[in-house]
Amino acid sequence: MINESFKRRLFWIGQSKIVRGTSAFVAVIVLWEFLSSLRLYNTLLFPGPRRIAMAFSDMFVSGEWFGDLRDSGVRYSLGFVLGSVIGVGLGTLTGRIPVLRDTLGVLLNYMRSTPSVALIPLVIVWFGIGEEAKVFVVAWGVTFPVWVNTHSGIAEVEKEYVWAARSLGAEGSDLYWEVYLPRAVPFVIAGTRIAIATGFFSLAAAEMAGAFGGVAFRIFHSHQMFRTDKMMVGILTIGALGVLCDRLFVSLTGWLLPWWRGESQLDK
C-alpha cells in the first residue's frame, strides 16, 4: 500500500510543469559542464557553468552585479510604465475614432517599423547619454506592441454590445469604461506581455550604446576586456529578468482578473 502511494506521488510530481522545466534546465547545465570539462572547444570563448558561477560570485561579493541590476531595473521600470500608458492611450484613440485611425494610425504603423536600435544615435544627440535617453528607448520599444493590441481590442468591439449599452443609457465615458475597455482587456494583456520582452531588447541596445552602468553595459564592457564569463553572467541575468517579469505579470493578471484566468493561456 505504501509503495502504491509512493508511486502515485512520484507520478504527480513528474507531471508538474515546474519539475519538468527544472529538470530540463539542470540537464542542460550538466551537459554543458561535461562538454566544457572535456576541453573539446576553447573554453575562453565559451566558458562552462562553473567558471560563469565563479565570475558571478565575484560580481556578487563586490556589489558590481547589484549596481548593474539597480541601474537597469530603474531604466526598464520607468520606460515600461511610460510606454504602456502611451500605448493604451494611443490604442484607445485610434481604435475608437475613425479619423485618427486613418491618420495617426498610419503614422504609428510607420514609426513602429523603425527599430529602437536605429534611433539610438539620434536619441543620444537629443538627450545625451543620460538616463532620459535609456528611458526613451525602452518606452519606444514598449509603446507599439501595447498600441497595436489595444487598437485591435477597441476596434473589434461588437456593435451589438455598444447598441445594448446605449439602449440602457450608457454614453460617452460610460461606454468606454463599461464596454470598450472590458472587451479590450485580453488584447491589452497580450500586448503588454509582448512588450515585456521588447522592452528588454530596447534596454540592452540603449545600455550598450552609451551608459556607465547596467547589465547590458557590463556585457559590452566585458566584451572589450575579453571576459566571456562576465558576458555570460550578464546575458543570463537579462534572460532571468525577462522570465521573472513575465511570471510576475502572469501572476498579477491572474490575481486582478480571476474571472479571465481560466480562459487565458497565460499560465501555460
- For residue 138, what pLDDT is reported? 93
Task: With a cut of 90, say whether residue 30 has pLDDT above it.
Answer: no
The C-alpha atoms of residue 221 and residue 243 are separated, in whole angstroms, by: 24
The C-alpha atoms of residue 63 and residue 227 are separated, in whole angstroms, by: 18
Per DSSP, 42 falls in state -
Q: Tell whether 267 is covered by a domain.
A: no
In this predicted model, which residue has the larger pLDDT, 167 or 27? 27
| Same-domain pairing of 60 and 144 | yes
Q: Tell whether 42 is covered by a domain.
A: no
Q: Supply the CATH number for residue 188's domain.
A: 1.10.3720.10
In this predicted model, which residue has the larger pLDDT, 56 or 1? 56
State pTM to two decimals. 0.82
| Same-domain pairing of 13 and 103 | no
Per-position DSSP letters for 84-140, written without gaps between them: HHHHHHHHHHHHH-HHHHHTHHHHHHHHHTS-HHHHHHHHHHHHTTSHHHHHHHHHH
- For residue 89, what pLDDT is reported? 92
Q: Tell whether 197 is covered by a domain.
A: yes
Residues 6 or more apart whose Cβ sits within 8 Å of residue 104: 90, 93, 94
Q: Tell whether 94 is covered by a domain.
A: yes
- For residue 235, what pLDDT is reported? 92
% helix / strand / coil in the chain, to the nearest 5? 85, 0, 15
| Same-domain pairing of 22 and 56 | no
| Same-domain pairing of 180 and 257 | yes
Q: Give the pLDDT band of residue 21 (cuts 50, 70, 90).
A: low
Q: Tell whether 44 is covered by a domain.
A: no
In this predicted model, which residue has the larger pLDDT, 214 or 157? 214
| Same-domain pairing of 96 and 166 | yes
Q: Give the pLDDT band of residue 117 (cuts 50, 70, 90).
A: confident
- For residue 264, what pLDDT is reported? 47
Q: Tell whether 173 is covered by a domain.
A: yes
What is the chain's Cα-based Rg?
A: 23
Task: Report, as an integer, the average pLDDT of 38-44.
Answer: 78
C-alpha cell at 261: 484566468
| Same-domain pairing of 174 and 78 | yes
| Same-domain pairing of 7 and 68 | no
Domain assignment of residue 14, given as a range: 2-37
| Same-domain pairing of 58 and 29 | no
The number of folded domains in the chain is 2
Task: With a cut of 70, say whether residue 115 has pLDDT above it.
Answer: yes
Q: Tell whether 105 is covered by a domain.
A: yes
Task: Report, as an integer, the average pLDDT of 61-67.
Answer: 92
- For residue 33, what pLDDT is reported? 80
Average pLDDT, the chain: 82
Q: Give the pLDDT band of residue 82 (cuts 50, 70, 90).
A: very high
Q: Tell whether 43 is covered by a domain.
A: no
| Same-domain pairing of 153 and 193 | yes
- For residue 48, what pLDDT is reported? 85
| Same-domain pairing of 101 and 209 | yes
Q: Give the pLDDT band of residue 143 (cuts 50, 70, 90).
A: very high
Task: With a cut of 80, say whether residue 54 has pLDDT above it.
Answer: yes
Q: Residue 190 in contact with residue 205, Cβ under 8 Å?
A: no
- For residue 1, what pLDDT is reported? 45
Task: With a cut of 50, say whether residue 146 has pLDDT above it.
Answer: yes
Q: Give the pLDDT band of residue 192 (cuts 50, 70, 90).
A: very high
Task: With a cut of 90, say whether residue 90 has pLDDT above it.
Answer: yes
What tens digit of pLDDT does each residue of 218-266 get? 998 888 888 889 999 999 999 999 999 998 998 888 887 776 654 445 5
| Same-domain pairing of 30 and 57 | no
| Same-domain pairing of 84 and 14 | no
